[in-house]
Chains A and B, each alone.
Chain A
Amino acid sequence: MMPLIADERSGAAPIATLEELARILDGVLLPEAYGTAMQRVAISPAVLEPLCLWNPRQYSRQCLHRTHSHELLLICYEPGQRTSIHDYDSQSAWIKPVLGQVVEERFGLAPDGSLVRQGMQVLSTGKLEHLGGEGTIHRHSNPGPGRAITLNLYARPIRRWRVYDERTGSSSLSGTPDAASE
């Protein structure tokens, strides 16, 4: 498989191994530097695939590295698998697909507490996405046709996770069966 080319805006050498990434993350002093480091990530899917635990019923999550300030996760989606609509307490999250692509949907809460979809975008291979601040409600899905792998960096590590029910809120979502958990 072709190694990924690092985003040229970072202006620094690509990070090609997990060890190097972990070392750089551990040396981060300012939160912005996490984003810069993730921009530079160009780890080949061939390196990450052996670490993936594919689960036919559910996308899988694996912690690759963690300190008190950050944690790096490997998320693996079979075609059609997706996360719940969720948010967490982490101040910042960076998501970078290293294989395939994922669809990101963002949601807001209406005054009555129901979910309203606010936007949707495709995160293609190598594109870095940043989710800032607590309460950013979102969902990631692998539209297929192939598998998708993303590297997710959270600073600080997640300690709270809230799963919303998609059947309430905007009409476009009501009644949609949740294929990932079947």
Chain B
Amino acid sequence: MAHGESNVDPVQLDRVRELLFSTAAEGLVLVDRTGAIRMHNPRLLELFGYREGELLGRSIEELLPHHIRQAHAAYREGYNAMPAKRHMGHGRELFGLRKDGTVFPVEVGLNHFTVDHELYVMGLVTDITERKKAEEALQRNNAELEKRVEERTAELALGAKAVEVAFQREKELNALKSRFVSMASHEFRTPLSTIMGSADLIARHAETGDRERILKHVQRIRTKVRDLTSILNDFLSFERISEGEPATQAEPIDIVHFCIGLAEELRGTAKPGQALEYDHGGEERAITVDRTMLLNAITNLVTNAFKYSPEGSPVTLHTSITNSVLDITVADRGMGIPTEDQPHLFTPFFRAQNVLTIQGTGLGLHLVKRYVDLMGGQIDFTSMPGQGSTFHMRIPENSQRP
């Protein structure tokens, strides 16, 4: 008795075999040693798109795409020499060729048997188009998921880095702000008490109608308010410039009138007898730069020059334009910068030892350096204690013309 068959009526058994063969969901094909199709079930016709009778006697290779037929024939020879029950196409994709020329993925199980010394090979062909589609979709989903996970991970990493950088920045800003608060409370006290004192004296002189003294104190109050405003301005500029990279806004200027306007505006910051001498070298006067940054940089240097020079001591401002590069020099004959302090001059809140008794935020030169950097320029200086300082800026023309 054959394997898997019980004591069933042989006629019924034949019917069952016939049914199993004809209703199987897989295509069944039986080929002989030469590869000729000797038998198949209806499902095989359906799979490959043939009509009844069209496939019998034809080579099994006709059901394969052209490019693998030769290899398959050789493979079949090998199988005949050493037949075994197995799946075809381990690790490879197998394809069937329909009568209409279309190709579809298949899975093939092979078995062999011998009848009257004749070797037959039976193939069980399953159309795996749908499974492939599902697999591909799954792979696509997986790939997409992986990609999204990767992206999200990268985002998170970036976010964490950004948070860290922002946190560090915030910490530094906070530290700088508390330094400002302690600096401000110190620097504000003196002018505020001067203002209060002058206000009291104005009230007293008002009783006697001493106009000249009243005017003197009004002027003193104005000067002190200007000092306070300048401290606040320094800090506001510092905060603005520290919290982001302000974009430069280039515009064409006539450097001579720009500097004359500046000289006219800055005359109020001079001490008695301090003259400001401006001169421009060469014929070229036009340059495209960030007007506000340039204004702030020169203003800071000139007001410093007045501040750290004695009464009657002149300050000079010189400009020239060569090959689209603006050179600016601000020189004074003031107290100069101690040699040991010179390396720290552009550090925020740094104040040289010889100016500690003079009002100042320690932000001015730091701001100048930042403006010059933002304009793509350079700044350097030479200074001799007791003899004066010379600051030199080189600002290239801003190529992003307005």
Determine the distance from Cα of A163 to Cα of B315 in the docked complex, in whole angstroms: 10
- Residue-wise interface mask of A (150-182) relative to B, using a CB-CB cutoff of 8 A (1 in contact, 0 not): 000000011111111101100000010110111
Say yes or no: A58 contacts B264, CB within 8 Å. yes
A57 at the interface (CB under 8 A from B): yes
CA distance A98 to B280 in the complex (A): 29
Q: Are A177 and B219 in contact (CB-based, < 8 A)?
A: yes
Given known contacts A168-B312, A177-B215, A177-B222, is B264 in contact with A162 (CB within 8 Å)? no
Given contacts A61-B261, A177-B215, contact A162 B277 (CB under 8 A): yes
Knowing A175-B216, A175-B219 are in contact, say whether A84-B267 is a contact too (CB < 8 A). yes
A167 with B272: CB separation less than 8 A? yes
Chain B CB within 8 A of A68 CB: yes
In whole Å, how far is A116's beta carbon from the nearest beta carbon of chain B?
A: 14
Interface string of A56-75 (1 = CB under 8 A from B): 01111111000010000100
Min CB distance B27 to A, Å, is 92
In Å, the complex CA distance between A165 and B215 comes to 19
Binding site of B, secondary structure by majority: helix, strand, loop or mixed? helix
Complex contacts, A181 vs chain B, CB 8 Å: 264-268
Q: Which residue of A lies closest to B222 (CB)?
A: A182
Residue of A nearest to B225 (CB): A182
- Hey, what's the 0/1 contact readout for B269-302 against A, CB within 8 Å counting as 1? 0111111111110010000000000000000000
The answer to whether A177 touches B218, judged by C-beta atoms less than 8 angstroms apart, is yes
Contacts of B20 in A (CB 8 A): none
B264 / chain A contacts, CB cutoff of 8 Å: 58-59, 61, 83-84, 86, 163, 181
B280 touches A165 (CB 8 A): no
- Does residue B260 face the partner (Cβ distance < 8 Å to A)? yes
> A167 — which chain B residues lie within 8 A by C-beta?
272-273
Q: How far is the CA of A158 from the CA of B260 in the complex (A)?
A: 10
Of all chain A residues, the one with the shortest Cβ separation from B278 is A161
Task: Show 21 residue pairs from A and B whose CB-CB distance is below 8 angstroms, ordered by the A residue.
Answer: A58-B264, A63-B254, A63-B257, A84-B267, A86-B264, A89-B279, A160-B279, A160-B280, A161-B259, A162-B278, A163-B263, A163-B264, A163-B270, A163-B275, A163-B277, A165-B267, A165-B272, A165-B275, A167-B272, A175-B219, A182-B226
Q: What CA separation (Å) do A57 and B268 show in the bound complex? A: 12
Q: How far is the CA of A60 from the CA of B266 in the complex (A)?
A: 14
Give the distance to chain A from B221, nearest Cβ to Cβ, in Å.
11
A178 to chain B: which residues have CB within 8 Å?
Answer: 267-268
In the complex, are the beta carbons of A61 and B260 less than 8 A apart?
Answer: yes
CB neighbours of B267 from chain A (8 A)? 84, 163, 165, 178, 181
Residue from the list B265, B271, B274, B279 in contact with A159, Cβ < 8 A: B279
Query: How many Å lie between the Cα of A52 and that of B271 in the bound state?
Result: 31
**A178 to B267 alpha-carbon distance, docked (Å):** 9
CA distance A118 to B261 in the complex (A): 26
Q: For B283, give the chain A residue with the smallest CB separation.
A: A68
